[in-house]
Amino acid sequence: MAEDRSDAIIVTCTAPVNIAVIKYWGKRDEELILPINSSLSVTLHQDQLKTITTAAISRDFKEDRIWLNGKEEKIDHPRLQSCFREIRRLARKRNSDNKAPSLHLNLSHKVHIASVNNFPTAAGLASSAAGYACLVYTLAKLYGVEGELSAIARQGSGSACRSMYGGFVQWIMGKSAEGMDSIAQQVAPETHWPELRILILVVSSEKKSVGSTAGMQTSVETSLLLKYRAERIVPERMKEMIDCISQRDFAKFGELTMKDSNQFHATCLDTFPPIFYLNDISKRIITLVHQYNAYYRETKVAYTFDAGPNAVIYTLEHNISEFVEVLKYFFPPECNGEPFVKGLSFESISLSGNITASIGMEPCPGGIQYIISTKPGPGPQLVNNADLHLLGLDGLLKKTSYTSSSSSESERTSV
């Protein structure tokens, strides 16, 4: 728990990445980050992908400070400030209600934060979701505040509210102007569907052309398809997706996941000027998945794409060995000694020539840089080991905190 040798209290927590199967795209309120439609995601396991955040508070600190991935950044970012303000407001309320007044914490004391990801930025995964979820969870533990925190994480980054829970999570868009009802809720825990597997196919390490925040703003301003989607399509799809998950119906879950990803990218094309997130490799992966499913006459594998060209594949445990072999066949690895598949291991099998002949695509060497294999996982966690704090008792970044965390994690994720 919190540590208060000398005067500093230090807390470290971790939070997960999530991948939406019903996409969030578009805000009705930019400042409060209120969406135009509800969305639903799967929380990924933190053994493979997580953010680690340490928060320290002390009367000796002169100002609030933050280090992200080893580099000090400005603390005055409005979204960061929103999260600080809201957590401190809850702490003040808790103190004035006198429910569990904190003996140690003076709310005027300054806070130092350090945060690192255990996955390479090159993976192109939205790190803001895990990052803001981890910040809010860690600050809440530091100040000893509990309860509904997803509405605070939402004010850091919309998708961050879904990373406040494990398993299958919906973000209910809410109706109020203040956003108190725009919150995340767990639909089912990570244990609900133990066979579900997720592969992240990293196809490009380039920075995305249009960031999500700016991209969705232009879409809201210009795309009639997005408006139609938000008002007429997503409400039904949310119900349908919750049913697929509760019945563990992979074929329906996979089909709806692919359709929703395609519709999100259609709204990007309907944006003016249009936004292109999928590249040629993304499109080849889409074709491959459809050909593979056609071979079996069953939806065994599903893709989804966010605001970038990397694919996320959902499938079931018993399909994974074969599908990864299919990927290796059509995207022969050029990985220079690095493992092609990192993360959760599975047995390797040899491939039947019938499948590759039936798919009939030209192989594209190096098209996929590497794959991260994972499964659904739990929500944010408190780290009960002071050795893992990223900040020392002096409130400064430990010399090893960035590099050692990154290298030990990459060892752990290799197979």
Q: Which stretch binds ligand 2P0 (CB under 6 A): 22-30, 107-115, 229-237, 250-258?
A: 22-30
Measured CA to CA, the distance from residue 176 to residue 335 in angstroms comes to: 50
Judged by CB under 6 A, the chain residues 259 through 318 that form the site for ligand 2P0 are: 306-307
Residue with smaller CB distance to ligand 2P0, 126 or 313: 126
- Total residues contacting ligand 2P0 by CB under 6 A comes to 15
Residue with smaller CB distance to ligand 2P0, 40 or 359: 40
Which of 26, 158, 174, 254: binder of ligand 2P0 (CB under 6 A)?
Answer: 158
Half-sphere exposure of 44 (CA within 13 A, CB side): 29
Q: Which stretch binds ligand 2P0 (CB under 6 A): 23-31, 109-117, 224-232, 294-302?
A: 23-31
Residue with smaller CB distance to ligand 2P0, 24 or 330: 24
Cβ(306)–Cβ(20) below 8 Å:
yes
What mask of x and - would describe binding to ligand 2P0 in positions 349 to 388, judged by CB under 6 A?
----------------------------------------
Q: Which stretch binds ligand 2P0 (CB under 6 A): 109-117, 156-164, 178-186, 219-227?
A: 156-164
Which phi and psi angles does 316 have, rounded to 5°?
-105, 155
Cβ(57)–Cβ(110) below 8 Å:
yes
Q: How far is the CB of 157 from ligand 2P0 (least distance, A)?
A: 3
Q: State yes or no: residue 341 binds ligand 2P0 (CB under 6 A).
A: no
CA distances to 13, 30, 52, 111, 368 from 166, rounded to whole Å, are 15, 26, 16, 27, 28
Residue with smaller CB distance to ligand 2P0, 48 or 157: 157
Q: Is 392 exposed, middle or buried (0-12, 13-18, 19+ CB in 10 A)?
A: middle
Which of 48, 128, 163, 282: binder of ligand 2P0 (CB under 6 A)?
Answer: 128
Q: State yes or no: residue 33 binds ligand 2P0 (CB under 6 A).
A: yes
Residue nearest to ligand 2P0 (CB): 158
Q: Is the peptide bond before 273 cis (omega within 30 degrees of 0)?
A: yes
Residue with smaller CB distance to ligand 2P0, 36 or 288: 36
Residue with smaller CB distance to ligand 2P0, 214 or 294: 214
Residue with smaller CB distance to ligand 2P0, 84 or 331: 84
Judged by CB under 6 A, the chain residues 173 through 212 that form the site for ligand 2P0 are: 212
What mask of x and - would describe binding to ligand 2P0 in positions 36 to 75, judged by CB under 6 A?
---x------------------------------------
Measured CA to CA, the distance from residue 31 to residue 82 in angstroms comes to: 9
Residue with smaller CB distance to ligand 2P0, 78 or 273: 78
Q: State yes or no: residue 24 binds ligand 2P0 (CB under 6 A).
A: yes
Q: State yes or no: residue 126 binds ligand 2P0 (CB under 6 A).
A: yes
Residue with smaller CB distance to ligand 2P0, 24 or 143: 24
Q: How far is the CB of 213 from ligand 2P0 (least distance, A)?
A: 4
Residue with smaller CB distance to ligand 2P0, 159 or 405: 159
Which of 48, 53, 118, 159: binder of ligand 2P0 (CB under 6 A)?
Answer: 159
Interface residues toward ligand 2P0, by CB under 6 A = 20, 23-25, 33, 39, 126, 128, 157-159, 212-213, 306-307
